[in-house]
Structure 1
Amino acid sequence: MDINYHEIAERAASHALKSNITLDYSEKSIAEVESILGTYYDHLAEYDGKDGADTLWNVAVHYGIYLGETMLRLGMKEKGFAWYIDDGMPVLKNQAKAQISPVTKAHKRILNGPEDNVKSFCDVAFLLADGKFPDKNVHRAINVHLPSGQVIENVLYRDIASYITMIETGREDFLILESQDGFFQFYGVNNQFVCEVRVNLPDGDFHTYSVIDKAKEQQTRRVQLTTPYGQFTPAEREVVSLEVVNMVVRAYYEHVKTDDFLGAIPYIDTTEITKRCMGL
C-alpha cells in the first residue's frame, strides 16, 4: 500500500487552520492536536451511527498521521523509526521492532477522553526512541478519596463527573483526586467551591496552590463560605464556580507535568503560607 503520509498530515494541518490553529510539526503543535481531539470527545453525541463513527475514524487517521510525521521530524527518524503497515494500520516501527501507533492513539483520545492524552503518548514515544523506559510520571492515574475513607482507584475521566456531582449536591463534604505526585481537592456547595493543589517534589519538598477566579484576581478580601465540610474564610478570588472546578479537573487529567498543568489553570502559589501554618 503506497501512502503519502506527508500529504495526509498536511490535510490535517489545513483542517486545523480553518479553526485558526497552526500545526507546524513542532513539539508545541502536539498539544494543539490534543486540544483538537478533545473537542471531538466533547461532542461525541453528535457523531452517532455509522456515518459518525466513520467521520471520527477519518479524523483520527489524519491527526494520528500528523502526530507520526511530527515525531519523525522531532528526532524519531534519526532513531530508525519509519512508517510501516501492520495488519492494515499505519504504525511507526524501527529495526528493533519497537512499534508505535499514533492513529490508534488519536482514535482512543476521541472516544475515551483525557486519559488517552496524545501529548503523554508522544512523550512516551520519545523516551522509547531514546532507549529509555518511561517512569511512573508519564501517566496520571487518579484515585478518588471520599470523606468516608473510601478510596476508588484508577478513576477514568469519563467517570469522574458522578463524584463531582456528590460535592455539587452536598451528598459528600469534599473530594480528593490523588495522583502519584500529589493531589487536587475541592469542597463547597451552591456553585461556590474552594480548590487546592499539592505537588510533591522528588526531593521530598512540596508546593501548594489555590485555584482562583481569574476575573476576581485582585479581590483578596476574606469572605464567609459555609459548606457541608465546615465554615471557611477564603479570599474572594479563591471561591470559584463549578465550571472552573470542571476545567481544573480536566486539566489535571490531561497534563502530567506540573508546569503544563499550572499553565492551563488560574492559580496562586500558597506554598509559603501553607508551610508557615504547618510550622515548617
Structure 2
Amino acid sequence: MNEEIEEYLQSMGKKAVEYANSFDVVFTYSEKDVKDLEAILDYYSNDLKNTKDKPSKKQIYSMSLIWGSYLGELIIKYINPKLSWVKEDVFGDGEIIHLQDGDTRIFPIDKVYKRLINGEEDSIISFYDVIKK
C-alpha cells in the first residue's frame, strides 16, 4: 500500500515540476526550489483571496497534493532520506497522507493547504527551515 502511495505522490511531484514551468520557474529538485515554490503558492493564495468564484476545499486539496508532494520530495532528499510517504489515521478523524520515519511525522501536503488558505503567515520556507533544524 505505501509503495502505491509513494509512486502516486512522486507522480504528483512531477506534475509540480510541469506546472512550475507555467510560472517560468524550473524546478530541479534542489533546495533553492523551496523559495520558488513559496512564490508560486503566494500567487495562488492571493488569487484565492481575490476571486469571487472560490474553489472547493477538494479543489484546494488537489492543488496542495501536487505542490505538497514536491515539497515532501525535497524534505526526503535534503533533510531525511529515511522518510517515506504513508496514509494513516493519525489524529482519529480519517486517513491523512504524510511523511514518516519511526515516530517522526511531517505533513507537507497539509502545510501547503494551510499556506494556500492562510497566506504568508504559513510560509513553507519557515516550515522547511524548522524541519531542517
Measured in 1, the distance between the counterparts of 2:65 and 2:18 equals: 14
The secondary structure found in structure 1 opposite 2:32 is helix
**Structure 2 length-normalised TM:** 0.84
Q: Displacement, 1:16?
A: 0.8
Q: Displacement, 1:48?
A: 3.8
Check whether the contact 1:93–1:100 (CA below 8 A) recurs between aligned residues.
yes
Q: How large is the Cα RMSD of the aligned pairs? A: 1.6
The secondary structure found in structure 2 opposite 1:93 is strand
* Alignment equivalent of 1:17, drawn from 2, 16, 21: 21
The structure with the greater share of residues assigned to helix is 2
Aligned to 1:104: 110
The structure with the greater share of residues assigned to strand is 1
Structure 1: tracts of 5 or more residues without a match = 128-280
User: Equivalent pairs: percent with the same residue?
Assistant: 28
Cα distance change of structure 1 residues 122 and 10 upon mapping to structure 2, 3 Å threshold: same
**Structure 1 length-normalised TM:** 0.42
Q: Displacement, 1:115?
A: 0.9
Cα distance change of structure 1 residues 125 and 114 upon mapping to structure 2, 3 Å threshold: same
Does 2:69 correspond to 1:36? no
Q: Which has the higher contact order (CA 8 A, sep 6+)?
A: 2
Q: Which has the larger radius of gyration?
A: 1
Structure 2: tracts of 5 or more residues without a match = 90-94
Does 2:129 correspond to 1:123? yes
Check whether the contact 1:47–1:56 (CA below 8 A) recurs between aligned residues.
no
Aligned to 1:8: 12
Check whether the contact 2:23–2:40 (CA below 8 A) recurs between aligned residues.
no
Number of corresponding residues? 123
